[in-house]
Homo-oligomer: A and B are copies of this chain.
Amino acid sequence: MTTRTDYIRPLDFKQGRVDMNHGAGGRASLQLIEELFARAFDNPALREGNDGAVLDVPPGHRLVMATDGHVISPLFFPGGDIGCLSVHGTVNDVAMMGATPTALSASFILEEGFPLADLKRIVESMAAAAREAGVPIVTGDTKVVEQGHGDGVFISTTGLGLLPAGRNIGGANARPGDVVLVSGTLGDHGVAVLSQRESLAFDSEVVSDTAALHTLVAALLAAVPEGAVRTLRDPTRGGLATTLNEIARQSGVGMMLDEALLPIQPQVDAACELLGLDVLYLANEGKLIAIVAPEVADTALATLRAHPLGAKAARIGTVQEDPHHFVQMRTRFGGQRVVDWLSGEPLPRIC
């Protein structure tokens, strides 16, 4: 795209607001793209200015495609915002398939009247997250809806990744005897967002764990033989409990967790107590569950712990035969209970 300098004036990123013209596809849309998105996301594919981006695929790879809509409220929360979250969430979905994320697309749905200053902050956070992850945002789209018909900013991101031929990591691969690992403390994102929403202040502020996990996945996969990592999944909406139930169901197995082994920050524990929440159902945005063959469990755990994003990794349970596909947990008090799917009262708009 060549630069055009004939706008009457540059966008006002201090006092300006999104208006319907920014979504109409004409000159105002172009200005928003040029003065905000193209500058922040700058990369060769985007610079072409076409309706789509052209990407190379090295031989010997398959592709992974994943998509996620982001409607988190509030847009800014301790430890992050909808911008970086929308990059991390989709990078992680691609990485959980064992693929190396290579490109993202972004679709923005903006509400008329939204401050351009906030939009800029979000877009720059997104750009920084994409740069840090090494995954460019190669194509995008922006729409605007009338005030009262949206909620500030919604962002849908789609990610592409390269999957080496022969790699097969998925929810259906867990087998009895496998070991369940989690890469760190549970519930941080959920508590950070919910406490901000409830305007609660804790002695020690809990921040979201939002992070791109693809380098952690790469380290893990490099450390153990192909096939030994059965399943990777990030326990976002619905939390650890729901994610493990999904896997149990897909693989046709049961699981037994050990409550005493779950890594939980004390201030998250305290917040859950205060807010009446169960940490097992709280969203995480920078954690993964790895289900691995028993013979590599020690190596896998040590590898996770050696990575900055996995320092608090823990072995939390095992996969077992179970015709009912129940996820169960040995409690701290020596009892045993079924850990069901999330149901009932939802925790809305957590991602």
Contacts and interface: CB of A to CB of B under 8 A. Distances in A.
Nearest to A24: B346
Contacts of A24: 237-238, 342, 346-348
A26 B65 contact: no
A274 interface: no
Interface string A281-309: 10100000000000000000000000000
A28 to B, nearest CB: 7
The main secondary structure of chain A at its interface with chain B is mixed
Interface in A78-107: 93-94, 96-97, 99, 103, 105-107
Nearest to A59: B59
A160 B24 CA distance: 25
Contacts of A107: 67-69, 107, 156, 158
A189 interface: no
B242 A63 contact: no
Contact of A149 (B63, B150, B242, B249): B150
Nearest to A151: B149
Nearest to A105: B67
A227 interface: no
Contacts of A54: 62-64, 97, 163
A204 interface: no
A27 interface: yes
A247 B216 CA distance: 43
A93 B66 CA distance: 19
Given A52-B96, A154-B154, A158-B105, A348 B66 contact: no
Interface stretch (A35-43, A120-128, A134-142, A265-273): A134-142
Contacts of A97: 50-52, 54
Contacts of A141: 67-69, 156
Given A71-B109, A109-B154, A170 B50 contact: yes
Contact of A145 (B67, B160, B349): B349
Interface string A309-351: 0000000000000000000000000000000011110111100
A25 B156 contact: no
A249 B66 contact: no
30 contacts: A20-B346, A23-B71, A23-B348, A24-B238, A25-B238, A26-B237, A26-B342, A26-B343, A26-B346, A30-B246, A30-B341, A50-B171, A52-B96, A52-B159, A53-B64, A55-B62, A63-B160, A65-B105, A67-B140, A68-B141, A69-B141, A69-B156, A70-B143, A109-B109, A144-B348, A145-B154, A145-B349, A146-B348, A156-B158, A160-B160
Given A51-B96, A52-B94, 11 more contacts: A24-B342, A27-B342, A52-B159, A53-B65, A55-B62, A57-B62, A69-B107, A141-B156, A146-B349, A148-B148, A150-B151
Which A-B residue pairs are the 7 nearest by beta carbons? A25-B237, A26-B342, A52-B66, A25-B238, A24-B346, A158-B158, A156-B156
